[in-house]
Structure 1
């Protein structure tokens, strides 16, 4: 990296994590450039959620290094995590509270003053297309609408990096497309950096950077369009790459 080049939004270097005898992550490395949408592609059980738990410090990384915008997660956890927003796979909104109450509570956890929080909430609800639902209880929202509120909540403190772990799981086609569109607009219009974990191939565009995680190892990385060759199908290439991964020592790199 040159002196003028900014540090990556997220740098994961040689991270391993075990649960007893099972290796959930095995020497995982990846880099997410600032202002880019990067897809972390892998089936259930590949290690995506464990990696997110390490990056968010729910788990202490046992081996390796994690840095956010150049801030080492072990040495500068507060500075690193201040720039991070997360949408976990599990739904965590309080369904008995209104949209506004959920967001105000989260803003208070970040030490945001009430007036500033109200203004931020209004802007975020407009961004995710749910300004008219601010006083509705979460239980009255659809699954897709709840996910949009979780995205708004993750952005309440104006982070620069957003992690989303299988954010569209359980949603219908239209709701999935809406969530993807909201996040891609944030990248395009606000320069947000995004790591999007998924096993759904049609959520990945040909110009996206992709990291393929399989059985806790990175087995391929590169642009989705290049990874799709020669079949023209990312899913077909993914199945071939993961099938071949058992006999290969390192990740496949594609320009």
Structure 2
């Protein structure tokens, strides 16, 4: 058997993923792919199933049907290998406000079995790169919302994952902070080859060339580049999204 080299494998492959909460179908056999080194947007309104999808991919919930693989590692058969490739920023804030910025990242590193001089140096490098060099020993509770989000992104990168999942990462931020977060994540894609699945309901965060999956009521109702979806609607991505979600009702 010939094994494909890692760079030829998709960062994330989801096929026929379904999930229920009792009688309610939260995800209805969805399939999507994040190519290695690409920024992919998962566009959907609140309640579409974006957070449920992230919870399944990160093993907070077991996938009840379908197959998920991360750089070729099946999430069920090789969960440790798959999860080692993942960095996650959830919609809900998850930093410890009573720890310093440095301590939050060091604690996350320890959960991955990482410690020592090299890890401490990586933590400092990530925080300086995030523009938080002067905040390293500040407690998280005194940071602005945008600064706290940057800390969470830096924390997600501590164990050097190749795939970054971000669930509505700019919710509650002002326009400038939101733009800064989007730009910093796109820089990770451009400069470091990080693969990104970015869940959002904000059209301005999506570039024309981005691959987009439109999620509505647990179903993928459209997929394509943002530009192609807009062209099909004869207007903008926002118009395309409105038509798609109205048709799906």
Q: Normalising TM by the smaller chain, what interval?
A: over 0.9
* Corresponding residue to 1:32 among 31, 34, 46: 34
* Corresponding residue to 1:231 among 216, 234, 239: 234
**5+ residue gaps, structure 2:** none
* Corresponding residue to 1:22 among 24, 45, 54: 24
1:243 aligned to 2:246?
Answer: yes
Aligned pairs (5 A) from 1:78-157: 78-157=80-159
Report the equivalent of 1:253.
Answer: none
Q: Which moved more, 1:221-230 or 1:141-150?
A: 221-230
Deviation at 1:3, TM superposition (A): 5.2
- Give aligned pairs, total: 245
Provide TM-score, normalisation by structure 2: 0.96
Deviation at 1:155, TM superposition (A): 0.4
Query: Which of structure 1's runs of 4+ aligned residues deviate more than 6 A?
Result: none
Report the equivalent of 1:170.
Answer: 172
Deviation at 1:127, TM superposition (A): 1.7
Report the equivalent of 1:52.
Answer: 54
- In the alignment, the residues of structure 1 paired with residue 195 and residue 62 of structure 2 have an alpha-carbon distance, to the nearest angstrom, of 23
Deviation at 1:232, TM superposition (A): 3.1
- In the alignment, the residues of structure 1 paired with residue 145 and residue 116 of structure 2 have an alpha-carbon distance, to the nearest angstrom, of 28
Provide TM-score, normalisation by structure 1: 0.94
- In the alignment, the residues of structure 2 paired with residue 232 and residue 185 of structure 1 have an alpha-carbon distance, to the nearest angstrom, of 29
Deviation at 1:245, TM superposition (A): 2.0
Query: What RMSD, in angstroms, separates the aligned Cα atoms of the two structures?
Result: 1.2
